[in-house]
Chain A
């Protein structure tokens, strides 16, 4: 078996216990059902992309896209946990390169993201109107992969850099909050959005993932989505490179 697949298998087997999986699934399901249905009681339908949508139909693709943040934070957490339990140093003393470890971590997170996204779609189906085509499905896959590579790499760089668990948790929670709420997960970015927040949304890669997946779900994808893919391709490459750089500089424990 290839080195990367063996490492990926290890991450999936060792990192994903029942508590972690419950957290990964229950939080987005909670967002979708509680927030979606509660907000839906005050915002009945609104116009988006030329169609009238219920609020839950609007946020469902956003919640699916938000899975990449869940997957991303898992990537950072796995690295952090491997540092804490000594497994990182042990793996680095085995026939694996640091780059293989990084790729396997990202691959594991892509699988987690897909699993989570699939569950979100199944949960959402009774509440939303979905018009996805085969091309649309492929676009969702591309957006999820690029989004996970981007945010997974950011979290890996964070996990490689910070030295305390508390700092890692605080930064990742703040990031989760800021990235989610300055994107179009919960509300569309329109001409009425305050200027600063509109700019933040434009700079936020999650906005492009959400908008791309939403277009695919509603079958309203245009050539603009290719532009989004290009942006995400660039952010993936840049952040993977940053993660690689921080990986190379990981200091193993300081015992002489």
Chain B
């Protein structure tokens, strides 16, 4: 059974431009689905429709078998939502923040207290439990926001870039916990920029850019569909912009990501490795420059993402 069914979803805020444009996908029960895309791609807008915060302009969206435009309240009873935007009761302690949240979810008082103790121990919040939310760090607030949502049971969990601001230890512990939730049957819809996380956590991913969904598949399938592709990372000791221009002009079918400065490599995803290397060699000879760094690697999820987003960049 599908927990999420999205058909021909389109969303426009101003009635002119679609920020989500005709996307289709399903998420199966118990699956962890990653929704990947660059800034402004339409990830948060999609999650807002799925969590009934905004209505779709066109299309049909069913969550747990219910239409988001008709059964918003019923849907919200059965889902958990961790929004990208920070949210907390600034003048209450961490412990009281969790208590109020548990009360809002109608968890009985004695159970809330037990849950708070359990979650605080599990996610290392005991040291700050009496500290006001306004006085803790951004990362600690994010942890509070995540842990608070895990106090109540949900069949479907929406996570909008949940690990922003978390330190590596907290990130690992929370991602592992999400995996254990999915093993127990919770469906997870997860948006992120962090492709390493998506690779670790997700069964399938969708890649969205400029409101359009360009790929939906398992990570393995996506990687194998780019089997012939190689990623070249190259750094030269002068004028990298000129090399980028040359590659964009001459390297047929390659996607070229510009480096921001001399300290970062230019990244090229191509299925014509020898030809592309020749262009680089010629450039070095003609411009009398030298190579600082060269790395050629097999396609990873990051490269697939880069390729899909890059391929459709000028559409």
**Are B85 and A86 closer than 8 Å at their CB atoms?**
yes
> Hey, which chain A residues are within 8 Å of B42, CB to CB?
256
Q: How far is the CB of B55 from chain A (nearest CB, A)?
A: 11
B90 within 8 Å of A (CB atoms): yes
**Are B44 and A255 closer than 8 Å at their CB atoms?**
yes
Contacting B at CB under 8 A, from A75-134, are 81, 85-87, 89-97
Complex CA distance for A97 and B77, rounded to whole angstroms = 11
Contacting A at CB under 8 A, from B25-63, are 39-45, 48, 51-54
Given contacts A13-B96, A256-B44, A256-B45, contact A90 B87 (CB under 8 A): yes
Given contacts A89-B53, A256-B42, contact A94 B89 (CB under 8 A): no
**Are A87 and B104 closer than 8 Å at their CB atoms?**
no
Contact with B along A47-85 (1 / 0, CB 8 A): 000000000000000000000000000000000010001
A44 within 8 Å of B (CB atoms): no
> Hey, which chain B residues are within 8 Å of A91, CB to CB?
104
Q: How far is the CB of A23 from chain B (nearest CB, A)?
A: 14
> Hey, which chain B residues are within 8 Å of A22, CB to CB?
none
A14 within 8 Å of B (CB atoms): yes
> Hey, which chain B residues are within 8 Å of A255, CB to CB?
44, 84-85
B119 within 8 Å of A (CB atoms): no
> Hey, which chain A residues are within 8 Å of B76, CB to CB?
93-96
Contact with A along B262-286 (1 / 0, CB 8 A): 0000000000000000000000000
B92 within 8 Å of A (CB atoms): yes
Q: How far is the CB of A249 from chain B (nearest CB, A)?
A: 12
Complex CA distance for A17 and B9, rounded to whole angstroms = 44
> Hey, which chain A residues are within 8 Å of B52, CB to CB?
93
**Are B92 and A14 closer than 8 Å at their CB atoms?**
yes
> Hey, which chain B residues are within 8 Å of A81, CB to CB?
90
B120 within 8 Å of A (CB atoms): no
**Are A94 and B105 closer than 8 Å at their CB atoms?**
yes
Given contacts A252-B54, A256-B44, A256-B45, contact A86 B86 (CB under 8 A): yes
Which of A6, A10, A86, A95 contacts B83 (CB under 8 A)?
A86
> Hey, which chain A residues are within 8 Å of B45, CB to CB?
256
Interface size on B, residues (CB 8 A): 33
What residue of chain A has the Cβ atom nearest to residue B108's Cβ?
A1
Which of B51, B85, B103 contacts A253 (CB under 8 A)?
B85
**Are A93 and B81 closer than 8 Å at their CB atoms?**
yes
Which of A9, A87, A96, A97 contacts B87 (CB under 8 A)?
A87
Complex CA distance for A86 and B81, rounded to whole angstroms = 13
**Are A6 and B104 closer than 8 Å at their CB atoms?**
yes
What residue of chain A has the Cβ atom nearest to residue B52's Cβ?
A93
A7 within 8 Å of B (CB atoms): yes
What residue of chain A has the Cβ atom nearest to residue B148's Cβ?
A90
Which of A86, A94, A253 contacts B104 (CB under 8 A)?
A94
Which of B19, B87, B103 contacts A89 (CB under 8 A)?
B87
Main secondary structure of the interface of B (DSSP, over half): loop
Given contacts A86-B86, A93-B51, contact A13 B44 (CB under 8 A): no
B100 within 8 Å of A (CB atoms): yes
Complex CA distance for A91 and B85, rounded to whole angstroms = 13
**Are A14 and B89 closer than 8 Å at their CB atoms?**
yes
Which of B19, B51, B89, B103 contacts A87 (CB under 8 A)?
B89
Q: How far is the CB of B25 from chain A (nearest CB, A)?
A: 18
What residue of chain A has the Cβ atom nearest to residue B51's Cβ?
A93
Contacting B at CB under 8 A, from A191-216, are none
Q: How far is the CB of A69 from chain B (nearest CB, A)?
A: 23
Complex CA distance for A66 and B208, rounded to whole angstroms = 54
Q: How far is the CB of A220 from chain B (nearest CB, A)?
A: 43
B214 within 8 Å of A (CB atoms): no
Contact with A along B84-116 (1 / 0, CB 8 A): 111111111000100010011110000000000
> Hey, which chain B residues are within 8 Å of A87, CB to CB?
87-89
What residue of chain A has the Cβ atom nearest to residue B39's Cβ?
A256
> Hey, which chain A residues are within 8 Å of B100, CB to CB?
9-10, 13-14
A interface residues with partner B (beta carbon < 8 Å) = 1, 6-7, 9-10, 13-14, 17, 81, 85-87, 89-97, 252-253, 255-256
Q: 9 shortest A-B CB distances, which residue pairs?
A: A86-B87, A93-B81, A90-B87, A14-B89, A95-B77, A95-B76, A86-B85, A256-B40, A255-B44
22 A-B pairs in the complex with CB atoms less than 8 angstroms apart: A6-B103, A6-B104, A7-B104, A9-B103, A13-B96, A14-B92, A14-B100, A85-B86, A85-B88, A85-B89, A85-B90, A89-B53, A89-B87, A90-B83, A93-B52, A93-B76, A93-B81, A94-B81, A94-B105, A95-B76, A253-B85, A256-B41
